[in-house]
Amino acid sequence: MVKLVIESRKASLGEGMKVKRILPFRQKRMVGPFIFMDHGGPVALNPKTKSSLDVLPHPHIGLSTVSYLFSGELVHRDSLGVNQVIRPGEVNWMTA
């Protein structure tokens, strides 16, 4: 039986990078303050237009992210020079 349905709320990770945030959620604190569940997209970008979806600066404190794409393609670049293409059906697991 479902006891609580959490409605997503708008959150910005940076200019051009808007998501629907589900976690963290005030009424479910046992999940922890550094666990995020975001839904991004769908987003349609014109490939001829240079677009920056940079995420705002944030601390790397040992948390992990898992990214999964249903369609399209995403390139993850970080300050260490890692450049990873993520495609539909693939999982990108990063610990920072």
What value does the mean pLDDT take over residues 42-50? 67
What value does the mean pLDDT take over residues 64-89? 82
For residue 33, which amino acid is it? Answer: P
pTM of the model: 0.59
pLDDT of residue 50: 57
- Taking the C-alpha atoms of residue 12 and residue 19, their distance in angstroms, rounded to an integer, is 6
CA–CA distances in Å: residue 47 to residues 43, 51, 85: 12, 8, 16
pLDDT of residue 48: 66
- Taking the C-alpha atoms of residue 50 and residue 47, their distance in angstroms, rounded to an integer, is 7
